[in-house]
Amino acid sequence: MPNKEKPNNSSADAPSPALDTEPKVKLSPLQSKYLPYVLAVALFMQILDATILNTALPEMALALGEPPLQMQWAVISYALTLAIFIPVSGFLADKYGTRKVFLSAIILFSIGSILCAMSPNLDMLVASRVVQGIGGAMMTPVARLILVKSYPRNQLLTVMNFAVIPALIAPLVGPLVGGYLVQYASWHWIFLINIPMGVLGLIMGYKLVPDIREAAGKLDWLGFALFAIAAGLLTLAVEFLSQPGEALPGITMSAIALSLLFIYVRHARKASNPIFPLTLFKVRTFRIGITGNLFTRLGISAVPYLLPLLFQVAFKYTPSQAGWLLTPIAVGAMGIKPWVSKIIQRFSYRKVLVANTTLLGILIILLAQLDASIPWYYIAPLLVVMGACNSMQFSAMNTITIGDLEGPQTSSGNSLMAVNQQLAISFGIAFGAAILTVFSDRLNFEVVSAFNATYYVLGIITIISGLSFLRLKPEDGRGLY
């Protein structure tokens, strides 16, 4: 464990849920010292798996006999599964115990990884990613919940700050590891690398994780089903709308999804314990933050998926070269962390979010100016700035979103924000891939021109999304720093 110095609250992408009571369990000295490493391993597994995959997608497409520009569902299926099942993780942990659920999650994530490595085609890979996603939806949230319930409030931020260090390291090494593995070994290893980490997580979890149970209450299964089906249909609708002759199924799915969301709103108004309480949206900063979070990430989330494709498919870089060119994003994200709080204090959440979102949109448009003749040392600084702006954006959005929530609202608001982030990732990738498909397949753009046009659209949408933060007041979030 690190020394108990004052942590930087912006060190993680999402703030940790608040702790309103004393610890639910008494830890042994061994558990107290090493329990945060359990969350560290879980986070590292998940984030490495996500970042390692993007670099490997073009080579995987060739091996599976798929067009490289049609591999988005290998990523979307995982993010969408996380979004759907994250709300259930807390209920399962309360009902069956944190120890049993956490160990089961690691086993399920590892089994999903093996199935991914064994997949002979894209359909099997997508199904295996869903298995992985169910495990991931329980693994990290439950590990975070274990820490929240195991440490007193005055230690929690230090513990969390230490445990999320892998969230900064994994994006740095993931693209490199993915690039070298597919270039010098095979794409199967990007999933098999999870197995030794899974074994380590199981051993640590068995020895360190306490078995904490709570009164589980009754899960809102109807609300869960309405939300899950609506989220899945909306994501599918984006894909269908981008395909020639598939507009009617896409419109139909969108209509059904919106109808289910309307039914959920009516259900949530009457339910005693809805899975996402509508009272959260009475908090103005939460309402602004959650919608801004969703729409801003539409453009931002598509970039990590599209960049490796641009480098490898359009520019003909090797996987390892593409991996090296993605690391500046992580470098920028890490470098800005110590300055995030100071910048927000100086300029306010409103000014930072409006200006930073605009800058991110401009940076995405600048990606449209790249071509294969531009040296890497001109591309890298652009990506460093983009990584820094991403980090600033996520820290500011997440903090302002839940900063004014109190009591029980904090837990449910934090859960909805995590779900919202995963939905935005799945929607963003689906949206970015759909735009690329329209330009490349329907409008017959040459491949580099199709990417360039896609970045223009994503950049403009990102700039427009930043206008939603104008609804913040200059004094909003002042009590958070």
Task: Look at residue 110 and tell me if it is in a domain.
Answer: yes
Whether the pLDDT of residue 460 is over 80: the answer is yes
Closest CA to 399 of 137, 142, 16: 16
Q: Are residues 209 and 256 in the same domain?
A: no
Q: What is the pLDDT of residues 358-380, one digit of tens each?
A: 999 999 999 999 988 899 889 99
**Taking residues 240-267, what's their average pLDDT?**
87
Between 42-51, 59-68, 111-120, 447-456, the lowest mean confidence (pLDDT) is in 42-51
Q: Clarify whether residues 465 and 345 are in a common domain.
A: yes
* Same domain? 164 vs 250: no
Residue in this structure with the two tokens 């919202």, named with its chain if needed: 420
Q: Look at residue 461 and tell me whether its pLDDT is greater than 70.
A: yes
What is the share, in percent, of the chain residues with pLDDT greater than 90? 31
Six-digit token string for 462: 């990102």
Reported in sequence order, the residue ranges of 24-140 that DSSP labels E, i.e. its strands, are none
Q: What percent of the chain stands above pLDDT 70?
A: 90
309 has pLDDT over 80: yes
* pLDDT of the residue at 13: 46
| 234 and 349 assigned to the same domain | no
Is 308 found in the same domain as 250?
A: no
> Is position 18 within any domain?
no
Q: Looking at the structure, do residues 153 and 134 belong to the same domain, yes or no?
A: yes
Whether residue 449 sits in one domain with residue 326: yes
Indicate whether 22 belongs to any domain: no
Contact yes or no for 133/77 (Cβ under 8 A): yes
Of the pLDDT bands very low, low, confident and very high (cuts 50, 70, 90), residue 14 is very low
Could you read off the pLDDT of 196-216 as tens digits, one per residue? Answer: 989 998 998 888 888 877 776
Domain boundary among 230, 250, 273: 273
Given a cut of 50, is residue 4 above it in pLDDT? Answer: no
- The shares of helix, strand and coil residues in the chain, as percent rounded to the nearest 5, are 80, 0, 20
> Is 60 exceeded by the pLDDT of residue 97?
yes
Query: What is the per-residue pLDDT for 95?
Result: 84
Residue from 454, 440, 418 nearest 16 by CA: 418
Q: Calculate mean pLDDT across residues 171-178.
A: 85
Is there a domain that residue 5 lies in? no
Q: Hey, what amino acid is at 78?
A: Y
Mean pLDDT of the chain: 85
The verdict on 224 and 290 lying in the same domain is no
Residue 10 has pLDDT above 80, yes or no: no
pLDDT, residue 23, reads 64
**Calculated CA dihedral for residues 315, 319, 324, 327, nearest 10 degrees:** 100
315 alpha-carbon distance from chain centroid: 27
Residue 367 corresponds to which tokens in the numbers above? Answer: 């990606």
User: Out of 133-137, 143-147, 376-380, which region has the weakest mean confidence (pLDDT)?
Assistant: 143-147
Q: CB-based contacts of 163: which residues, under 8 Å, 6+ apart?
A: 36, 37, 39, 40, 43, 144, 147
Q: How far apart are CA 160 and CA 33, in angstroms?
A: 13
**What would the mean pLDDT of 449-457 be, rounded to a whole number?**
95
pLDDT in tens, 376-419: 889 999 999 999 999 899 888 888 887 787 766 776 787 788 88
Q: Is the pLDDT of residue 32 over 50?
A: yes
Q: How far apart are CA 439 and CA 446, in angstroms?
A: 9
Q: Are 88 and 133 in contact (CB under 8 A)?
A: no
Q: Are residues 238 and 307 in the same domain?
A: no
pLDDT exceeds cutoff 70 at 343: yes
Average pLDDT of the residues in 117-133? 93
133 lies in some domain? yes
The residue-averaged pLDDT of 119-124 equals 93
- Over 70: is that where the pLDDT of 24 sits? no
- pLDDT of 352 higher than 80: yes
In a shared domain, residues 191 and 249: no
Residue 150 amino acid letter: S
Number of domains in the chain: 3
| Cβ(398)–Cβ(417) below 8 Å | yes
Give Cβ neighbours of residue 284 (< 8 Å, ≥ 6 apart). 404
Q: What is the DSSP letter of 28?
A: P
Give just the sign of the alpha carbon dihedral 409, 414, 415, 421. positive
Question: What is the distance between the alpha carbons of residues 423 and 82, in angstroms, rounded to a whole number?
Answer: 8
In a domain, 14, yes or no: no
Tell the residue number behind the tokens 């999903």, with chain if given. Answer: 112
Dihedral sign from CA coordinates of 305, 427, 81, 387: positive
Whether 427 has a pLDDT exceeding 70, the answer reads yes
Q: Averaged over 295-318, what is the pLDDT?
A: 90
Q: What is the pLDDT of residue 124?
A: 95
The CATH number of the domain holding residue 69 is 1.20.1250.20
Estimate to the nearest angstrom the gap between the alpha carbon of 25 and the chain centroid: 30
State whether 306 and 433 are in the same domain.
yes
Structural domain contains residue 88: yes
Residue 225 domain flag? yes
Question: Who's near 127: CB < 8 A, 6+ residues apart?
Answer: 77, 115
pLDDT score of 154: 65
Let me know if 6 is exposed, middle or buried by CB neighbors in 10 A (0-12, 13-18, 19+): exposed
Q: Which domain holds residue 402?
A: 275-481
CA 264 – CA 280 distance, rounded (Å): 15
The domain boundary residue, chosen from 172, 187, 215: 215
Average of pLDDT values for 447-470? 94
Four-residue CA torsion sign, 90, 8, 381, 43: negative
Choose the final residue of a domain: 167, 185, 215: 215
The reply to whether 244 and 293 lie within a common domain is no
Is the confidence at residue 449, as pLDDT, over 70? yes
pTM for this one?
A: 0.83
Q: 239 pLDDT band (50/70/90 cuts)?
A: confident
Is the pLDDT at 232 greater than 80, yes or no? yes
- Look at 12 and 180; give whichever has higher pLDDT: 180
Number of residues assigned to the chain:
481
> So what's the pLDDT on residue 11?
35
